[in-house]
Amino acid sequence: MPKRYEVKLTDEERKQLLSLTRKGELKARELKRIQILLLVDEGKENKEISENIHVSMTTISRIRRRYAEEGIISARKERPRPGAKPILNGRKEAVLIAQVCSDPPDGRSHWTMQLLADRLVKLEVVDSISDETIRRSLKKVKSNHGSVASGVLRR
């Protein structure tokens, strides 16, 4: 049977957590963690908590352990998530946008994501890049393809 960590909130901690739940400014994950802490402190069983607030038993055990080992702040806050460094920084994105604005290769009417990815590799902007990364980068950029009102219409 796994080790069960005790959660004994002080009166001050309980008041603080209850006031946080009433403000309506919390992210859903943090609210769930606070609800878990409050219910565990009331003596509710993991299975009952799991059914009432729709979280897994593992989540409840993890929150119990984090409270016991690291304290209340760690138990209710989310840890930073590791992530890969972006492939395209500001300068590299500028090169990408410049390519999009340039004329497409001979025999093509427009740029495709794969053509742009291949061009960035050919220009040695990046070692390798997927067409999906190109798509996501371009999706972030607001663009104006021209309109009749501006006097420029691209076809």
Amino acid in the structure at residue 33: R
Helix H or strand E segment including 146 = strand 146-147
| pLDDT value, residue 4 | 76
Q: How far apart are CA 114 and CA 111, in angstroms?
A: 8
Q: How far apart are CA 16 and CA 150, in angstroms?
A: 56
| pLDDT value, residue 145 | 59
CB 63 within 8 A of CB 46: no
| pLDDT value, residue 133 | 93
Q: How far apart are CA 6 and CA 22, in angstroms?
A: 25
pLDDT digits (tens, 9 = 90+) for 53-71: 999 999 999 999 999 999 9
pTM of the model: 0.56
Residues 6+ apart with CB under 8 A from 93: 137, 141
- For the chain, residues with pLDDT lower than 70 are 1-3, 143-155
| pLDDT value, residue 152 | 52
| pLDDT value, residue 147 | 55
